[in-house]
Amino acid sequence: MTYSDFKQSVVSFLCKNLGNHAKISIRPVLKNNHVQYDGLIILENGSNISPTIYLNYYYRLLQKKTPLSEILSQILDTYLANKPDTTIDTSFFTDYNNICPHIAYKLIHASLNEHLLNDIPHKKILDLAIVFYCLLSGSEHENATILIRNRHLALWGVEPETIYRQALSNTPSLLPPTLHDMNSLLFNRKDFNRADVPKAVPSMYILSNTQKLYGASAMLYPGVLEDFSATVNGSFYILPSSVHEVILLPESSKSVSGTLNKMVQEVNLSQVSPEEVLSDHAYYYSLEERSIKILS
């Protein structure tokens, strides 16, 4: 079955099961790193919000011989489990005073998102870009994010620098940093056997935030890297695990920079979704210079 036929089968199945009152559409969604998916949007009972279900994933299941009937049922079940029971007052987003307390920033790769950066306010740092979004919390563990674009600034009548300063103020409070020793996390697992770990395993630390949402940006929080440097009494490497977290590795681990870059690249290829890749190399924080540089 071709991808085009698959999408038509999805729409036909949902129309049959949800009825004619449901408005069903498939729209291209451009994600981070210029990754594009097809998003299934379903609007029922006058609602103006819908969970976005990405069909590319389900088509891959079909290619792996999962029966079509099973896939269609999964899609319907996913929608029913996540469909909203309310609508959003879109006028909320037109007033900057409403949005101001919810503005946060995240880090993305600059060159991989060059086209996107033309349409959004941003600041470059090294080979990365600081971009801004509105963080709306549905509950303690559920968040919705809206990327802030140039047209939003025009609507609000504010300058990019205003958004930048507000995000710097908000983000550490909205998404407080977290730092965990990877070895401690492993040792605390019930299925973990200490005998499986070589004695010379270096300590690595996961830096993120309490929501694990765009947590790589925590390395820009005031004092975070400086405090870690004081804790380990030296400089350290920063491994970009994804847009959601980075790994801090003390320089005393005697790691070779080329090995670290290769490690990052291999993890990106095998463990990280394309849209969640932050960078393909490591960084280095210098205790003496109190600054970050790209590890060549």
Final residue before a domain boundary, out of 54, 82, 110: 82
* Residue 142: alpha-carbon gap to chain centroid: 14
Residue 210 sits in the same domain as residue 260: yes
Residue 287 sits in the same domain as residue 182: yes
Alpha helices (runs of H) in 148-272, residue ranges in sequence order: 150-156, 160-174, 182-187, 224-232, 257-270
Domain span holding position 10: 3-82
Residue 77 sits in the same domain as residue 153: no
Final residue before a domain boundary, out of 174, 199, 215: 174
Residue 170 sits in the same domain as residue 181: no
Residue 153 sits in the same domain as residue 183: no
- Domain total for the chain? 3
DSSP symbols for 110-164: TGGGHHHHTTS-EEEETTEEEEEEEEEESSSS-EEEEE--HHHHHHHT--HHHHH
pLDDT of residue 202: 61
Mean pLDDT, each 10-residue run in order, the chain (296 residues):
96 93 92 93 83 94 96 95 77 90 97 95 97 77 81 96 97 96 60 47 86 96 96 94 96 71 92 94 94 91
Residue 203 sits in the same domain as residue 276: yes
What DSSP state is assigned to residue 103? E
Four-residue CA torsion sign, 230, 235, 240, 241 = negative
